[in-house]
Structure 1
Amino acid sequence: MNWIFLLIVLLATLGGGLIPMVVRKIHPNLPIYLLAFTGACLFGITVMHLIPEVYHELGHQAGIYIVIGFFLQVALQTLSHGAEHGHTHLPRGDHDHVHMTPLLFGLSIHAFMEGIPLGFQFKDHAAMSSLVIGVAAHKLPEAFTLITVMIHGGQKRASLWRTLFIFSLVTPLAAILAAVSGSYSVYVTNIITYIVALVIGAFLHISTTIFFESGTKHHELSYRKIIAILGGLLLAFLTLIFE
């Protein structure tokens, strides 16, 4: 267990949530390009590092669990309204009336799931450090969206701080639980391998949704958004130097 990696994820979550709390006026294009960059980075790391790992461990069964994870994420969105990929599916104006409990529950399940691979023992030495980059990048818009929805819903500042702090702990705690339980039982380690495949499916859904939905009216790709996507993919490719 690399505690520095978990600290990076924790700080990325806190940082993403602090932006809407501290910055009074945010340029409307900032979330769009941040989403495109982080989504592309997460996609690249998932394809280049995580998918080969689970196929090596599970063989053809890996594909089955990746597909299940993809549609499990679709189901979670009925609770979280799509906050995992940095924006919600709520009609404009409905943010004031959104029930926070289902949103927090769905988003916390997702956050817990994405923490489990951080406690997994990858045979690819570059996988863990690369995964941390992808998850940390993903946490920025995820926490940003959560706190933004809460602010629009009229939540008090104390509630914002409390929610952000607790939410920022979910992923690191999941990683610790996976690492500790896996070290005591080979059976648990095997289960975690299947969970990693499920998380890969969720990552694929989130990252590809970001490409086509974030900040667009007709799913168009502006040249600025393309640049942001290419930047995220470049960062993902650079993780290959960890090999």
Structure 2
Amino acid sequence: MNWSYLILILAATIAGGVIPMTVKRIHPNFSIYLLAFTGAFLFGVTIMHLLPEVYHELGHAAGIYIALGFFLQVFLQQLSHGMEHGHTHVPSEHHHHIAVTPLLLGLSIHAFMEGIPLGFHFEDRSALPSLMLGVAAHKIPEALTLITVMMHANKSRMELWRIILLFACVTPFAAILASQLGERFTVVTNSLVYVTALVIGAFLHISTTIFYESGTKHHELSRRKVMAIGAGIVLAFLTLLFE
């Protein structure tokens, strides 16, 4: 277990949560392009590093678990209301109440799933650092959206800090748990590749939703959003240099 990877993910999550707490007015396009960039980067890392790994280990059965992971994420977003891909769902004139518990539960389950592959021993030596960067990048807009919603739910500053610190620990905790249990129990070691396939499906759902939906009124791809996506894909290609 590389502790520096987990510290970076922890720091990225806290940084994302601090942005709406310290910046009084965030330009609406900031989150759109940040999501597009990080979503494309995560998509590229998933395709270039994680997919080959699980297909090498599981063969055609990998597709079954990837599909299950895709639809598992569909279920989870019924709880989180799509905060993973930038949906804020703040109160409107007609809806003043925010159901905080299901939002936190859905997003925390997703965050826990993100951490499990970080405890997996990949054959491709470039996979783990690439995945770490992809998850860390995704954590910034994810935490930003979470705290934005919590602020609209009238949480106190102390509560906001407690939420972001606890949320920031979920993914590193999952990685440590997967790594430690994987070293001690063969059944856990053998199961991690299946869980990684599920997470791939979730990543594919989140990243493709970001491409075509998040932050746009008519699901359009603007020129700047395409540029942000392109930059994320290029950065993902550069992770191949880790090999």
User: Are residues 1:158 and 2:119 paired?
Assistant: no
Residue pairs, 1:109-128, within 5 angstroms: 109-128=109-128
Structure 1 residue matching 2:202: 3-state secondary structure: helix
Contact 1:95–1:153 under 8 Å retained in 2: no
Give the corresponding residue for 2:104. Answer: 104
Mapped partners of 2:214, 2:93: distance in 1: 18
Give the corresponding residue for 1:228. Answer: 228
Q: How far off is 1:90 after superposition?
A: 6.4
Give the corresponding residue for 1:240. Answer: 240
Structure 1 residue matching 2:221: 3-state secondary structure: coil
Contact 2:119–2:175 under 8 Å retained in 1: yes
Structure 2 residue matching 1:24: 3-state secondary structure: coil
Give the corresponding residue for 1:187. Answer: 187
- Structure 2: state its 5+ residue gaps: none
Mapped partners of 1:113, 1:154: distance in 2: 28
Mapped partners of 2:222, 2:91: distance in 1: 23
Deviation digits for residues 96-128 of structure 1 (CA, Å, limit 9, x no counterpart): 411111100110000000000011100100000
Contact 1:95–1:149 under 8 Å retained in 2: no
Aligned-residue CA RMSD in angstroms? 1.2
Mapped partners of 2:139, 2:93: distance in 1: 25
Q: How far off is 1:87 after superposition?
A: 1.8
Residues 33 and 126 (structure 1), Cα distance of their counterparts in 2 relative to 1, 3 Å cut: same
Q: How far off is 1:62 after superposition?
A: 0.4
Q: How far off is 1:183 after superposition?
A: 0.4
Give the length in aligned residue pairs: 243
Residue pairs, 1:69-218, within 5 angstroms: 69-88=69-88, 92=92, 96-218=96-218
Deviation digits for residues 145-187 of structure 1 (CA, Å, limit 9, x no counterpart): 0000000111111100000000000000000000000001221
Residues 173 and 152 (structure 1), Cα distance of their counterparts in 2 relative to 1, 3 Å cut: same
Contact 2:90–2:149 under 8 Å retained in 1: no
* Corresponding letter in the other structure for 1:25: R
Mapped partners of 1:141, 1:209: distance in 2: 14
Identity %: 67
Contact 1:114–1:135 under 8 Å retained in 2: yes
Contact 1:50–1:127 under 8 Å retained in 2: yes
Structure 2 residue matching 1:84: 3-state secondary structure: helix
Mapped partners of 2:98, 2:3: distance in 1: 36
Deviation digits for residues 34-67 of structure 1 (CA, Å, limit 9, x no counterpart): 0000000000000000000000111111000000
After the TM superposition, list the runs of 4 or more consecutive aligned residues in structure 1 that deviate by more than 4 angstroms. 89-96
Mapped partners of 1:92, 1:195: distance in 2: 38
Structure 2 residue matching 1:125: 3-state secondary structure: coil
- Structure 1: state its 5+ residue gaps: none
User: Are residues 1:53 and 2:53 paired?
Assistant: yes
Under a length normalisation based on structure 1, what TM-score does the superposition of the two structures give? 0.97
Give the corresponding residue for 1:21. Answer: 21
Contact 2:20–2:147 under 8 Å retained in 1: yes
